[in-house]
Chains A and B, each alone.
Chain A
Amino acid sequence: MSDANTAAMAAATLTQPAKRRRIKAATLFDHAVLILGALFMIVPLVMVFQMTTVPDVEIIKTGPSFVIGDQLDENFRKAMFEASGFSGENSGTNMLVNSFILGIGFAVGKIVIGMMAAYAIVYFRLRFATLAFWMIFTTLLLPLEVRILPSYEVVQRLGMLNTYQGLIIPLIASATATFFFRQYFRSVPEELVEAARIDGAGPVKFFVDILVPLSKTMIAAMFIIMFVYGWNQYLWPTMITTEEDMFTLVRGIKQITQVMEGNRIPEYGRANLLAIIAIIPPVFVVIFFQSWFVKGLTESDK
């Protein structure tokens, strides 16, 4: 590089500091806002966690603090293996298993049924397709919460109270997944089904060999969203499951709260740990499958 060039560059750098500082200040402000936002989100959970590591008496005296104690093991044992209910059947382990059954059962059921229906609607010439379509998509309009009591009565009449079917199937009765897969199937190039037909694939073969493998990412995204949705259900399980051995973690949270308050020395550590255990699986899938999850969430946007 020539001397003139170097000199020019030096001159150029000399004029820059003022601007640089301005950029810095703006960027610092951006970061400050984001850090505050992140703290708003995470601090409550950190406090709840801290309380699981110290003795309950400690908490009554000081509340959350910066001390990390040694009670985590003991609280974990109590939370997972000691029954907290009246009938003595809802240990943390038991509720955890129920939560997984609800989360996975709901997600799988919704995806299987939704994909089948969406396939029928998109890929077949069907006389009452429009009618079926509207019947299915009307269900998007009314959330379970507004028809909760009559739904309860139906389940009661069918004798499905305190069963996994009664818990899961009525939750599946809305078309979110069907709608999602319908949108996705419609975006699959037309030529694909034409090519498959020329290659001699029938409707079942096309579905199994081509459409399902093609939808893998979509299925994964849907699974994550539905798993979290199922896991987090509260009102419906509260009504359908009255026997404690059917409780999920989220359903049991109110009992956990009551246990916490009922005793002479409230068992904060144990209750907080159960709340954290109820959070971990869904948070885990959301964080570790973030890109799928975000894709699934934003693309199901109507």
Chain B
Amino acid sequence: MKRAGFATRWLPILLLLPQLIIIAVFFYWPAAHAVQSSFYLQDPFGFGSSFVGFDNYTDLLDNSEYRRIAWFTVVFTVLVTFFSLALALLLAVKADKVIRGAKTYRTLLMWVYAVAPPVAGFIGLIMFNQSWGPLTRLFEQVGHDFTLGVNYNDTAFAMVLVSVWKQVPVNFIFFLSGLQSIPKSVREAALIDNRSASGRFWDVTFPLLAPTGFFLLIINITYALFETFGVIDTLVKGEPGNNPMTLVYKVYVDGFRGNDLGGSSAQSVILMILVLALTVFQFRMVERRIHYT
């Protein structure tokens, strides 16, 4: 709060009211509702529900399919996060170096930020079209019959590739801005202290990018967990079948399509706990190590 804040009583309340009402109705109520219904079993025909305690949770954890999906989500998240961060870092370092055409490169590398995940998924469908998709043909060249939506691994590969493609730009923008905020003189000091370019990168540039990288790590994990929904839904054409899916997609499939409200709510709550854990981890890391100023 500002030192010289206004003392008016009613005005701030009036200003806060719209925000508070919206979050109360559309955030706290649903969140509480999710927690509540995760302890109930809904009658399949919609006639009431009964309290079942932690049954929904234990059912989930016993369910081998759920465990398989959870495992896929972990693998998917790790792959998407790693590749989109690594690729973006490489491109940002290069874009930061070149002088000629720097602005054009920047534009070309960041525009995909504005492409919606399902549209990215649609472009993936075109690229991996069974009969004439350019990437399918590329796989043909190396002797692999790529079948999107049929072969589990092929589908997973397409999901990772499209999700990475969609996420590189955000990471690129942040890494580039992180690089540009490293004082020029610090880099020059390194130039005098160390003759090896890779040495300078790993000793000076990389550690100074660590706060950005850590922030992006969280962003990317969140992205892979939640925002890839559109990519996945389009790539499997809304028919999950035996295809790989992530936990969020499973919430949607069970709750919205399968009408298993209790189970779906329990899944939501598990995701909530996951996100909260991630945030707590983030705050503690930020507080502790990765901050220099």
Q: Evaluate contact between A51 and B12: CB separation under 8 angstroms.
A: no
Contact size range, B: 35 or more
Residue interface bits A236-259, CB-to-B below 8 A is 1, else 0: 001100000000001001101110
Known: A125-B7, A149-B34. 18 other contacts (CB 8 A): A41-B111, A60-B131, A64-B132, A123-B6, A126-B13, A142-B27, A142-B31, A143-B222, A149-B251, A149-B261, A150-B31, A151-B26, A154-B26, A169-B22, A257-B125, A272-B126, A294-B110, A297-B173
What are 15 A-B interface contacts by the 8 Å CB criterion?
A30-B98, A31-B100, A60-B131, A120-B12, A120-B16, A135-B23, A143-B222, A145-B229, A150-B265, A193-B5, A228-B114, A232-B116, A239-B256, A278-B119, A286-B113
Nearest Cβ in chain A — how far from B128, in angstroms?
Answer: 11
**What chain A residues lie within 8 Å of B240 (beta carbons)?**
none
Q: Evaluate contact between B123 and A44: CB separation under 8 angstroms.
A: yes
Cα–Cα distance between A202 and B4 once the two chains are bound (Å): 12
A33-B90, A147-B268, A154-B30 known; A253 and B234 CB under 8 Å? Answer: yes
Nearest Cβ in chain B — how far from A44, in angstroms?
Answer: 5
Residue interface bits A108-149, CB-to-B below 8 A is 1, else 0: 000001101101111111100100100110010111011111
Q: Evaluate contact between B230 and A235: CB separation under 8 angstroms.
A: yes
**What chain A residues lie within 8 Å of B265 (beta carbons)?**
149-150
Q: Evaluate contact between B94 and A34: CB separation under 8 angstroms.
A: yes
Cα–Cα distance between A122 and B4 once the two chains are bound (Å): 10
A169-B22, A250-B116, A253-B119 known; A37 and B87 CB under 8 Å? Answer: yes
Q: Is the interface of B mostly helix, strand, loop or mixed?
A: helix
A47 within 8 A of B: yes
A33-B90, A62-B132, A154-B33 known; A114 and B19 CB under 8 Å? Answer: yes
Q: Which of B100, B105, B237, B261 has the most CB of A within 10 A?
A: B105
**What chain A residues lie within 8 Å of B234 (beta carbons)?**
253-254, 257
A98 within 8 A of B: no
B192 within 8 A of A: no
**What chain A residues lie within 8 Å of B126 (beta carbons)?**
44, 47-48, 51, 64, 268, 272
B238 within 8 A of A: yes
**What chain B residues lie within 8 Å of A85 (beta carbons)?**
none
A234-B229, A286-B114 known; A33 and B91 CB under 8 Å? Answer: yes
Residues of B within 8 A of A (CB): 1-8, 11-13, 15-16, 18-20, 22-23, 25-31, 33-34, 37, 87, 90-91, 94-95, 97-98, 100-101, 105-119, 121-123, 125-127, 129, 131-134, 137, 165, 168-170, 173-174, 177, 215, 222, 226-227, 229-230, 233-234, 237-238, 248, 251-252, 255-256, 261, 264-265, 268, 271-272, 275-276, 279
A residues 1-45 touching B (CB-CB < 8 Å): 27, 30-31, 33-34, 37-38, 40-42, 44-45
Closest-by-CB residue of A relative to B95 is A34
A101 within 8 A of B: no
Q: Evaluate contact between A231 and B4: CB separation under 8 angstroms.
A: no
Nearest Cβ in chain B — how far from A258, in angstroms?
Answer: 7
Closest-by-CB residue of A relative to B274 is A146
Closest-by-CB residue of B relative to A177 is B19
Q: Evaluate contact between B173 and A41: CB separation under 8 angstroms.
A: no
Q: Evaluate contact between B8 and A124: CB separation under 8 angstroms.
A: yes
Nearest Cβ in chain B — how far from A160, in angstroms?
Answer: 10
A126-B12, A146-B271 known; A151 and B30 CB under 8 Å? Answer: yes
Cα–Cα distance between A154 and B168 once the two chains are bound (Å): 35
Q: Evaluate contact between B123 and A149: CB separation under 8 angstroms.
A: no
Closest-by-CB residue of A relative to B120 is A44
Nearest Cβ in chain A — how far from B164, in angstroms?
Answer: 10
Q: Evaluate contact between B15 and A173: CB separation under 8 angstroms.
A: no
Cα–Cα distance between A37 and B98 once the two chains are bound (Å): 14
Cα–Cα distance between A48 and B165 once the two chains are bound (Å): 15
Residue interface bits A262-302, CB-to-B below 8 A is 1, else 0: 00000010011001001100110111001000100110011
**What chain A residues lie within 8 Å of B227 (beta carbons)?**
145
Cα–Cα distance between A124 and B4 once the two chains are bound (Å): 8
Q: Evaluate contact between B91 and A34: CB separation under 8 angstroms.
A: yes
A34-B91, A301-B174 known; A254 and B237 CB under 8 Å? Answer: yes
